[in-house]
Amino acid sequence: MTERLWAPWRMQYVSSARDKPEGCLFCDRAQGECTPENLVLWRNEHALVMLNAFPYTNGHLMVAPIRHTADLSDLSDDELLAVAKLVRECVNLLQAAYHPDGFNIGVNLGRAAGAGIEDHIHWHVVPRWNGDTNFMPVLADVRVIPDSLENTYQTLRQIVNQHDGHGIDP
């Protein structure tokens, strides 16, 4: 008998994969407020932090420069420093919220390297826990995310609000 794993939240991803949206996700989100709807947790003058709408694990964050570019060499020193500082703050935020055992941090430059959004450079900060892999991705090509984006956003935003953007210590 075939088992069914219901994942209705995936329909948004499946539907959106057919049609490439107009505009740039990061540029659009940089213009909006920090809200659960747009998934932006916080930003500074040069960069923003937002939840990945299709996360690898709970707390999967993305850091992107405000200015639209796909080329690492186009970033000014100030922009690159702002991104690096926000990546560090993301690690601290995730440590404070979830106490992961490690992190995957990186940037995919170009479609061949796995960039899902190849027109706007961005870094991924993915918390990892000992034992967070299981048989589901191997046997069923399914990843189980144990909490909703809404709850993850609220948990992380509460910590950001407590620190008012002045550094988050785990």
Catalytic residue numbers read: 122
d(CA 41, CA 86): 11
d(CA 158, CA 152): 10
Question: Residue 156 carries which side chain, given as an amino acid letter?
Answer: L
CA distances 78 to 73, 88, 109, Å, are 13, 15, 20
